[in-house]
Amino acid sequence: MFNDIPIFPLVSSRIMFAMAFDRMLPEKFASVNRFGSPSWSINICMIVIILGVFLTWWNPWFLGMICFAGVFWRYFWSSWACAIMPYSRPDLFERGYTWKIAGFPVASIIGLASAFFTAWLMFPVMMWIVSDWSYIWWNVFWWMFSLMLFIAFYAYNEKRGIKLSELYQTIPPA
């Protein structure tokens, strides 16, 4: 835990920065200070991290939820994205690592293996979660909150004339 905490605000704040840069969070989170660091994103992440440390110390329920939501969903869905990318976005796949084994893309094989092992490693936590409905409702709440946030920012950006479908097709300038 003490190895993760010092670096975690810097790593997790990049996700918030990228979402703000893509206009899916308030643009204030994409602003940087005079040193080029996204200080708003870092400070918000630091507050959430400190709150998370105290909540997991206070009640192990939060540890299970943070472990499941923060680890399983992130790696499981990233693994699935890797597995289906050669088929859903062949234009992107052809520009990268295109090796195949027995006709199957290596990216898909690695993605499926990673999804399987992520689920296998998280199985004890999943069994703990399904035995308590509060875990399920906690996940449902955050999925619905995320969906509503996406819909709200999508509508807001469309109203401002920003086409998100075009935004995600280009790489931002360095």
Q: Residue 45, CB half-sphere, CA atoms under 13 Å: how many?
A: 19
Residue 174 clears pLDDT 60, i.e. is over it:
no
Q: How confident is the model at residue 71 (pLDDT cuts 50, 70, 90)?
A: confident
Look at residue 137 in the predicted model and tell me its pLDDT: 82
Look at residue 159 in the predicted model and tell me its pLDDT: 93
Cα separation, 120 vs 162, whole angstroms: 41
Q: Residue 68, CB half-sphere, CA atoms under 13 Å: how many?
A: 20
CB 44 within 8 A of CB 9: no
Look at residue 172 in the predicted model and tell me its pLDDT: 64
- CA angle 12/16/22 to nearest 5° reads 140
Cα separation, 70 vs 45, whole angstroms: 14
Average pLDDT over all residues of the chain: 84
User: SS3 of 28, please?
Assistant: helix
Which residues face 100 on adjacent strands? Answer: 105
What confidence tens digit (pLDDT) does each residue in 21-40 have? 888 899 899 999 999 888 89
Q: What b-and-e string marks burial along 134-169, b requiring 16 or more CB atoms within 10 Å of the CB?
A: ebeebbeeeeeeeeeeeeebeeebeeeeeeeeeeee
The model's pTM is: 0.64
Q: Calculate mean pLDDT across residues 120-129.
A: 76
Residue 124 clears pLDDT 60, i.e. is over it:
yes
| Domain positions in the chain | 1-58
